[in-house]
Amino acid sequence: MEIGNEETTVHDALSLTYEEWRKLVVEDWKEPRFRADQICGWIYAKKVFDCHGMTNLSKTLRDKMIYESLVKLPIQIKELKSKDGTRKYLWRFEDGSRVESVLLDHGNHTTACISSQAGCPLGCVFCATGQGGFVRNLTAGEIVGQFLLMEQRLGKNIDNVVFMGMGEPLLNDVNVFKSIRALNHPKMRNLGARHITVSTSGIVPGIRDFADFEVPVRLSVSLHAPNDALRGKLMPVNKRYSLVALVEAMRYYQDRTGERITIEYVLIDGLNDDPQLAFEMAALLNGLGVYVNVIPCNPVDASATGNGAMRNSLKRPAEARIKAFCSALAELSIEFEVRREKGADILAACGQLAGATK
């Protein structure tokens, strides 16, 4: 992406791919190729974003960088720390839009949960982001910037990244794919493809493009219900892409990549937690290699979610109900785990990100 006026083109540095850096350095700046590697090393490995600090570059090159490129980092508005070690960041971009990211500490490894859109247009009834409406797609640089700044704050490398923050990544696939290329490229952040997961609410064409994408990252599908009637009530996106089309796209992904797919299933009291639905889900996903993440519904600000009667019924099921649903999965020999909420005390758990200071 380019910003600037007729005289100079100012490149948005964090949105550049490795190939774009190479082209810029060699063709425009008339420098040897290895300079691109050095610049990427400073930004992605050392987290040095100001070219004055890039000490092995010549003064002439640094001057060109000052005039013709700009590292536009998100501005940190807030950092909240949970008692379980989770950290939540609220960022602001130059146009004033805000997103949140979460850094999860699992003891022996860390996971960054990043946002791909400011808001989300899909309006799932149980999700604070969806109920807040849509602002805009993030640029690749704004996506990468969240990760790099959290890594800088942490002071060591983050092990995994999940696109499970605000927004629907496959409605912003061009920029999301670009950000993945940067995170994965050996000369940039060099994060292994298997350490990157994209979660989607079921954007069928996006899943197909994702299956054909050259970096074999992991796919997670937010299912939440095994039939169209129920899923349509919880997730308006189901009216656009039905379960038949979604499952077909998942098969395409699995045929192309051979990768197991994670199914996310938010368990909501009395709505989708009947063990019978686990049997229905098994029938729907028959023949696919899946791993189910059962997520007991996290509370979100009541005024922000659902509508009318639906709003009051979005509760986490009692432990016995959660167990009954899981027993059905076990009986069906479906591998699963119950995702225990992290960071709920700072509203950093799944579905709680609203892009506001709380």
Q: Any idea which residues carry the catalytic annotation? A: 100, 350
Angle between helices 173-184 and 204-212 (to 10 degrees): 30
The answer to whether 164 contacts ligand SAH (rule: CB under 6 A) is yes
d(CA 263, CA 200): 10
The residue of the chain with the least Cβ separation from ligand SAH equals: 351
49 phi and psi angles, rounded to 5 deg: -100, -15
Closest CA to 268 of 289, 295, 290, 286: 295
- For CA atoms 326, 327, 331, 337, the dihedral sign is positive
Which range of residues in 38-46, 239-247, 280-288, 294-302 is near ligand SAH by CB under 6 A? 294-302
The answer to whether 201 contacts ligand SAH (rule: CB under 6 A) is yes
d(CA 61, CA 76): 29
The answer to whether 122 contacts ligand SF4 (rule: CB under 6 A) is yes
| Shortest Å, Cβ 242 to ligand SF4 | 16
The answer to whether 295 contacts ligand SAH (rule: CB under 6 A) is yes
The answer to whether 207 contacts ligand SF4 (rule: CB under 6 A) is no
Which range of residues in 87-95, 126-134, 140-148, 177-185 is near ligand SF4 by CB under 6 A? 126-134
Q: What CA–CA distances, in Å, run from 291 to 11, 221, 297?
A: 41, 10, 18
Choose, by CB under 6 A, the member of 42, 44, 89, 126 that binds ligand SAH: 126
> How many positions of this chain bind ligand SAH (CB under 6 A)?
16
Closest CA to 285 of 265, 256, 257: 265
| Shortest Å, Cβ 97 to ligand SAH | 17
d(CA 247, CA 249): 5
Choose, by CB under 6 A, the member of 148, 206, 298, 326 that binds ligand SAH: 298
The answer to whether 102 contacts ligand SF4 (rule: CB under 6 A) is no
Select from ligand SAH, ligand SF4, none the partner in contact with residue 266, using the beta carbon and a kind-dependent cut-off of 5 to 8 Å: ligand SAH
